[in-house]
Copies of this chain bind each other. A is one copy, B any other.
Amino acid sequence: MKELSAIAVDVTPPDRFREYLGTQAKRLTRERSIIVDEVFASHEHFDAEQLVARLSQRTDGNRVSRSTVYRTLAELEKAGLLRKVARSNDREIYEHDYGYPQHDHLICKKCGELTEFQNPELNEILQQVAAQYGFRMEGHRLEVSGICAACSRPPSRGHRKLDMI
């Protein structure tokens, strides 16, 4: 995935999660730690199934069940650590929502690549529109679809993650 650079963060994701859980009288269990570590090991977009695949097949003591993955993803979302960015192949796609700048995505219809981009004007415009409708904006989700640069040069058959039939 093409990504923007990270922002300096004072508190690490695990810390922030613990913090959030504390306010909810919830516990930071071994399973939840494993999940946070795995999720924040790299700034990749992912879906629940991919995470389940990685965590439920571990043979050591770090295995986590499918149910717990789903339940924890929901907590991480509430904690502001993750957010759903898009939906692809009938699955919700998650990304880090902590320690990274606000941004939107270009989604290639051919290879599925998600490219992040930032545009300050965009938010200004949305603020204006919301104000105009008396709408209290809390967030947005913008997916620009089309064909990415790599896939636009067909001769070399550059970039086809989606060849899976």
Partner of A146, one of B109, B138, B144: B138
Residues 93-145 (chain A) with a chain B CB within 8 angstroms: 106, 108-109, 115, 117, 119, 121-122, 125-126, 129-130, 132-145
Which residues of B lie under 8 Å from residue A140 when comparing CB positions?
A: 142-145
| CB of A152 within 8 Å of the partner chain | yes
Partner of A129, one of B117, B147, B148: B117
| CB of A87 within 8 Å of the partner chain | yes
Name the residue on B nearest A141 (C-beta).
Answer: B143
| CB of A6 within 8 Å of the partner chain | no
Alpha-carbon separation in the docked complex, A132 to B122 (Å): 15
Name the residue on B nearest A140 (C-beta).
Answer: B144
B119 touches A106 (CB 8 A): no
B125 touches A122 (CB 8 A): yes
B137 touches A146 (CB 8 A): yes
Partner of A125, one of B109, B125, B133, B141: B125
A147 touches B135 (CB 8 A): yes
Interface residues of A (CB under 8 A from B): 87, 106, 108-109, 115, 117, 119, 121-122, 125-126, 129-130, 132-149, 152
A selection of 16 A-B contacts at a CB cut-off of 8 Å is: A106-B133, A108-B135, A115-B135, A119-B125, A119-B129, A121-B121, A122-B122, A134-B149, A134-B152, A137-B146, A138-B146, A139-B145, A140-B143, A140-B145, A141-B142, A142-B143
